[in-house]
């Protein structure tokens, strides 16, 4: 395989067995252990200070056992702490849907490999949006699974109470096959109703709303008109602040000792986020976690009957590759306001390719109750 889009940090082949994914290929984000290879996590200092893995992590082993062939390890933003896809050490993978634009991260290499047709499945991870946002940016399917539904042993933790496994495909059929092979439901009952969170839609550009409207209309034709709701009764800024603080405090708890000891060379944005994380106090973290519990209770109440929330995945198409750091951070923060519902509540979210704005793809997302992956896939199949 020729890596034409800088998707891979290491290209090699490990043949899969015989199973439901036979004939398919995948790339694994470079925070998943692959036996005999160093898990570099997007940073040379991390790679330098960690030994090669002695075994495949469970999710890689599961895909191999299901018959898929591993084609290599894909780039990630440094320690997965970004959403844009730029890496100061290894470069930015190409967004094949619109090469002028960022591919999204932190699962940047996996989405780039799928969008370019180099592999059928891109194994990623999603803590704050690292599968959902790249899927929207590159015009592919992306699934964030229910928190805790797929094991994360043998993967670099970021913020474990938020971390989830996810993957990209170019079509729904492959998405459903992969989901079933991972031990989750590949189909399920259609939801009884759709919910349209007006406060989250308000974060999207008007052009994005227009672009995804036909896909929303098609879903409504299958299930019925979406019911407008306000999901963040405390205000979406309050939800965003709680997510940012709770995640960052956990990131520092996970990696602070290594960062303090090694003093790694981080790229722009990454260093700032780790500095912010190091300064979060216990009272601030406790308040954020208390708000997270309120968000979880609100989500459970809204989705108790199996309802599905539908919203644009992203405020708009991906930022341009030459955007400066303040522009990228502003977009990232706006996107997190839309993404933090599933992050806080540990919910599955499927990003569906749904339109184009100024030459760049945008996605429409389906957010379901915990362990509702099958329902999301069946709803998407009505399209």
Token reading at 380: 């998407």
- Per domain, the residue ranges of the chain are 8-181, 194-231+291-347+364-381, 236-283
Active site residue 110: no
Per residue of the chain (383 residues), what is the pLDDT tens digit? 899 999 999 999 999 999 999 999 999 999 999 999 999 999 999 999 999 999 999 999 999 999 999 999 999 999 999 999 999 999 999 999 999 999 999 999 999 999 999 999 999 999 999 999 999 999 999 999 999 999 999 999 999 999 999 999 999 999 999 999 999 999 999 999 999 999 999 999 999 999 999 999 999 999 999 999 999 999 999 999 999 999 999 999 999 999 999 999 999 889 999 999 999 999 999 999 999 999 999 999 999 999 999 999 999 999 999 999 899 999 999 999 999 999 999 999 999 999 999 999 999 999 999 999 999 999 999 99
Token reading at 315: 């405020």
Task: Give 100-112 as a DSSP string.
Answer: TB---SSSHHHHH
Task: Give 179-192 as a DSSP string.
Answer: HHHTTS-S--PPPS
Token reading at 373: 């992956």
Catalytic one of 107, 130, 351, 365: 130
Angle formed by the axes of helices 373-381 and 206-223, to 10°?
90
Active site residue 107: no
Distances in Å between the alpha carbon of 60 and those of 164, 193, 283, 371? Answer: 14, 35, 38, 21
Distances in Å between the alpha carbon of 61 and those of 66, 168, 199, 239? Answer: 9, 17, 41, 36
Return the H-helix or E-strand segment holding 283: helix 282-302
Catalytic one of 73, 82, 96, 106: 106
User: Which residue is listed with tokens 């899969």?
Assistant: 16
Catalytic one of 29, 73, 96, 351: 29
> How big is the chain by its Cα radius of gyration, in Å?
19
Return the H-helix or E-strand segment holding 143: strand 141-144
Active site residue 73: no
Q: What is the pLDDT of residue 268?
A: 84
Angle formed by the axes of helices 58-65 and 172-181, to 10°?
110
Return the H-helix or E-strand segment holding 29: strand 25-29
Strand partners of residue 367: 309, 349
Instruction: Classify domain 8-181 by CATH number.
Output: 3.90.1300.10
Q: What is the pLDDT of residue 81?
A: 97
Helix (H, G, I), strand (E, B) or coil at 127: coil
3-state DSSP percent of the chain in helix, strand and coil, to 5: 40, 20, 45
pTM of the model: 0.98
Which residues have C-beta within 8 Å of that of residue 28, sequence separation ≥ 6?
A: 34, 60, 70, 72, 73, 74, 110, 123
């Amino acid at each position: 395989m020729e890596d034409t889009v800088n998707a891979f940090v290491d290209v090699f082949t490990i043949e899969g067995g015989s199973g439901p994914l036979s004939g398919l290929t995948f790339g694994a984000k470079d925070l998943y252990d692959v036996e005999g290879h160093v898990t570099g996590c997007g940073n040379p200092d991390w790679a330098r200070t960690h030994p090669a893995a002695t075994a495949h992590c469970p999710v890689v082993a599961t895909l191999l056992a299901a018959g898929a062939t591993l084609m290599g390890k894909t780039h990630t933003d440094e320690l997965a702490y970004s959403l844009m896809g730029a890496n100061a050490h290894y470069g930015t993978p190409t967004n094949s849907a619109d090469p002028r634009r960022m591919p999204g991260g932190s699962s940047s290499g996996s989405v780039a490999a799928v969008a370019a047709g180099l592999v059928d499945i891109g194994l990623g991870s999603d803590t704050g949006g690292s599968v959902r946002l790249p899927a929207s940016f590159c015009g592919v399917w992306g699934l964030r699974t229910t928190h805790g539904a797929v094991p994360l042993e043998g993967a670099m933790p970021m913020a474990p109470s938020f971390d989830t496994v996810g993957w990209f495909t170019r079509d729904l059929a492959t998405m459903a096959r992969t989901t079933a092979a991972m031990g989750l439901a590949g189909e399920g009952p259609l939801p009884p109703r759709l919910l349209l969170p007006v406060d989250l839609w308000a974060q999207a550009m008007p052009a994005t709303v227009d672009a995804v409207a036909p896909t929303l209309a098609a879903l409504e034709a299958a299930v019925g008109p979406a019911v407008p709701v306000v999901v963040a009764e405390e205000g979406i800024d309050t939800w965003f602040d709680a997510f940012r603080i709770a995640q960052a405090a956990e990131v520092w708890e996970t990696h602070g000792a290594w960062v303090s000891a090694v003093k790694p060379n981080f790229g722009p944005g990454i260093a700032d986020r780790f500095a912010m994380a190091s300064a979060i106090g216990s009272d601030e973290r406790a308040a954020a976690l208390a708000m997270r519990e309120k968000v979880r209770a609100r989500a459970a109440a809204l989705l108790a009957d199996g309802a599905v929330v539908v919203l644009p995945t992203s405020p708009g198409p991906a930022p341009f590759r030459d955007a400066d750091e303040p522009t990228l951070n502003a977009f990232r923060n706006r996107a997190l306001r839309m993404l933090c519902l599933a992050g806080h509540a540990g919910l599955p979210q499927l990003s569906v390719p749904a339109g184009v704005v100024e030459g760049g793809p945008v996605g429409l997302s389906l957010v379901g109750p915990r362990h509702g992956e099958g329902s999301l896939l069946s709803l998407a199949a009505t399209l």
